[in-house]
A and B are shown apart, each in its own frame.
Chain A
Amino acid sequence: MPAVTETREQVEKLGQSSYKWGFETDIEMDFAPKGLNEDIIRLISTRKEEPEWMLEWRLEAYRSWLKMKEPTWAHVSYPPIDYQDAHYYAAPKKKAGPKSLDEVDPELLRTYEKLGIPLHEQAMLAGVEVPEGEEARLPVAVDAVFDSVSVATTFRKTLSEAGVIFCPISEAIRDYPDLVRQYLGSVVPVADNFFAALNSAVFTDGSFVFVPKGVRCPMELSTYFRINARNTGQFERTLIVVEDGASVSYLEGCTAPMRDENQLHAAVVELVAMEDAKIKYSTVQNWYPGDENGRGGIYNFVTKRGACRGARSRISWTQVETGSAVTWKYPSCILQGEGSVGEFYSVAVTNNHQQADTGTKMIHLGRNTRSTIIAKTISAGKSDSTYRGQVKIMPKASGARNFTQCDSLLIGDQCGAHTVPYIENRNMTARVEHEATTSKISEDQMFYCRQRGLSEEDAVGLIVNGFCKDVLKELPMEFAVEAQKLLQISLEGSVG
């Protein structure tokens, strides 16, 4: 074999191994025709066996979307998206919503196994007998969404005994219409923004969580999203409602196969916390970021918002963002209840040609509301990353407090990091603090580590994990380890 070919093959192998979730699953799919119009929305609604009000809701969203323009204020650039050139519904060929794991296509289960996602309750339970020295894995209830459809939700029985509802949102629309109708769109209105309106019109699946009064959800809840089919957008919708004195911890993970063309992901997540309720929402986002030359990758345009409606309620967003070609994402809290608390802990990594514009909004409405923002941005390669944070203190929010800390770490000298804080304080008694730093991994640090025997990758991994420590410690234990590995993998080859 000529040397050039051999080298090329080796390089290609390297490029691929750096995104190890990039395989494609060969499954028969049921597609809606490409394009977006009222008929497609009707088709989605029919496939999902939705009630009439839901269809009306979608159509209203679609009609307002038609009047809206794609936002351009974010510090990202990408070619125009042709919204008519995608499938808005794709489902594995199988009747929708299998009732138990036995009904699920084994090929699908294998996919999730490859992704390291435990779907087998049996295996999970067997996990209690762990080898000596290893920690017992806590059971995690999982809802797995494959393209447009939720394929399996585990641990439903245990959860329902505790009174917790955890199911695909399409099922919730059928089985708990009153609950869904009451809360859906109550935090992110259908016409909130361009991508939220699009999502409201065509969302196909996602998870619904309801934790009733006084219940502490007995296990971590987790949803894994997987885009598999070609030319499909994924538009999931998540709604989490936690009643008085109840609490839940929820984790979302995402991956996609490697493809040359870009794929669109526009999700909406709504959280509602009543009096003394606690919601911890963690995301490990690892959508395909595109290759070293910026080809392919997911466009990730997400609207996430939590409403702290009750007094002393608390919503905490933790995110580790390593994937996507373009990210546009600002998980926010509306702090309405007196003494309610909003937190945002974020690590955003960009490498190669990735672009991320992410941050948070903390809207203080109630008295003595508090918010904390810790945002860590890591840029490598030719990537560009922007932190955009808004803290808004309304006139009635006496005694409100905000603390914001934004740190950027640059690896190499071809990347960029920007911090854009917007602070609007309309109450004299409120206090807002903002700190920001920018640092670089220095040659001195690299040489020091390597002199001690560490490879360049290990050295960067150590320094990066040190940089992110304050955020990683907010993640549930098991996922913190996963996130640490992910950080290291996504920065592979970024030095030297």
Chain B
Amino acid sequence: MSELLKISGLHASIETEGGPKEILRGVDLVIPPGEVHAIMGPNGCGKSTLSYVLAGREDYEVTAGEALFKGRDLLEMEPEERAAAGVFLAFQTPVELPGVNNANFLRTAVNAVRRARGEAELDAVGFLKAVRAATKNLSMSDDMLKRNVNVGFSGGEKKRNEVLQMTMLKPTLAILDETDSGLDVDALKIVAEGVQNLRSPDFSALVITHHQKLLDYLGPDRVHVMAKGRIIRSGGPELAKQINEEGYTAFLKEAA
């Protein structure tokens, strides 16, 4: 199989008060195993919507097209089945879970996914060992494990917590939705290293970003430009540099 993810002609809309609103209007995208792809595009063009649809959020209705993940019909699967199959989404806005201990949440998630993948569950000791190693790599304090999931976390802490979850859940496809936004240079470096540590022939990433900096660390194989619910241009890393210098306007004109 030469592709891990293959999206063709994907259309999706959301129900609004004024009737259905189409957001994705024919997305085509292929990600082979082991590659890192970037998506760039102006605010509101549908990047987050694409990541939600791939992860299985129910608010969106897919009206046409398909998405195959490891040859399976991704859109037919429940969100938790997609997670077990290896899809991970680092949320642009991570969700708070009051009262739910972060370590307990992580352990429950890790074991749910391991069970579904036919792997042995981690016991308390095994989990603690793994999570300690991961937090250390991400320069996170143990204190964050004791707090409630994302409650009272700073913006940077939330993003790092997403990367911690990603590290522990070992996805084959990680979608990072503006995980670099709002991070200072040091935090950005840590997040980038978090992704780099996972790089292998069995790990691909779809990185949604506005910034060259993260891509400098990651060295993406392909860069895609999205506008008005479609991928309008694809190219190598040089495309990102061009966007940074010229902005999106030139591309939008070209596409129109």
Residues of A within 8 A of B (CB): 439, 442-445, 447-455, 458, 462-463, 465-469
Contacts and interface: CB of A to CB of B under 8 A. Distances in A.
Nearest to B111: A453
A455 B80 contact: yes
B108 A454 contact: yes
B83 A453 contact: yes
Interface stretch (B53-61, B219-227, B242-250): B53-61
Given A452-B83, A452-B169, A453-B80, A445 B104 contact: no
4 pairs of A and B residues whose beta carbons are closest in the complex: A466-B99, A453-B113, A453-B83, A450-B79
A444 B99 contact: no
Nearest to A437: B98
18 contacts: A444-B95, A447-B56, A447-B58, A447-B95, A448-B94, A448-B97, A451-B80, A451-B89, A452-B109, A453-B110, A453-B112, A462-B100, A462-B105, A463-B100, A465-B100, A466-B99, A466-B148, A467-B99
B153 interface: no
Contacts of B82: 451
B95 A448 contact: yes
A443 B98 CA distance: 14
A309 to B, nearest CB: 37
B78 interface: yes
Interface residues of B, number: 32
Among B88, B108, B165, the most chain A Cβ lie within 10 Å of the Cβ of: B108
Given A445-B95, A453-B109, A466-B98, 16 more contacts: A443-B58, A449-B97, A450-B79, A451-B55, A451-B83, A451-B89, A452-B105, A452-B113, A452-B165, A453-B83, A453-B110, A453-B112, A453-B169, A454-B112, A462-B97, A463-B100
Contact of B101 (A452, A453, A466): A466
Contacts of B105: 449, 452, 462
Interface in B228-252: none
A450 B108 contact: no
Contact of A450 (B78, B98, B104, B116): B78
B19 to A, nearest CB: 21
A458 B113 CA distance: 12
Nearest to A454: B112
Interface in B58-105: 58-59, 78-80, 82-84, 88-89, 91, 94-95, 97-101, 104-105
Given A463-B99, A466-B101, A454 B91 contact: no
A330 B101 CA distance: 31
A442 B84 CA distance: 22
B95 A453 contact: no
Interface string B108-131: 111011001000000000000000
Interface of A is mostly: helix
Contacts of A444: 95
Nearest to B55: A451
Nearest to B82: A451
B83 A469 contact: no
Interface in B11-45: none
B116 A453 contact: yes
Given A451-B83, A466-B97, A458 B91 contact: no
A439 B99 CA distance: 12
Nearest to B112: A453
A448 B79 CA distance: 9
B89 to A, nearest CB: 5
A455 B112 contact: yes
Contacts of A455: 80, 112
B1 to A, nearest CB: 23
A407 B206 CA distance: 41
Contacts of B100: 462-463, 465-466
Contacts of A451: 55-56, 79-80, 82-83, 88-89, 91
Nearest to B83: A453
Nearest to A456: B80
Nearest to A496: B58
Contacts of A449: 97, 105, 109
A443 B59 contact: yes
A449 B59 CA distance: 16
A443 B101 CA distance: 19
A156 B197 CA distance: 62
Nearest to A468: B99
Contacts of B84: 453
A423 B226 CA distance: 60
A450 B110 CA distance: 12
Contacts of B55: 447, 451
Contact of B91 (A448, A467, A468): A448
B79 to A, nearest CB: 4
A458 B112 contact: yes
A471 to B, nearest CB: 11
B152 to A, nearest CB: 14
Contacts of A463: 97, 99-100
A449 B95 CA distance: 9
A452 to B, nearest CB: 4
Contacts of A462: 97, 100, 104-105, 108
B197 to A, nearest CB: 19
A59 B155 CA distance: 69
A183 B98 CA distance: 45
Nearest to B124: A133
A241 to B, nearest CB: 37
Nearest to A455: B80
Contacts of A465: 99-100
Contacts of B83: 450-453
A459 to B, nearest CB: 9
Nearest to B99: A466
Interface in B117-176: 148, 165, 169
Nearest to B105: A462
Contacts of B94: 448
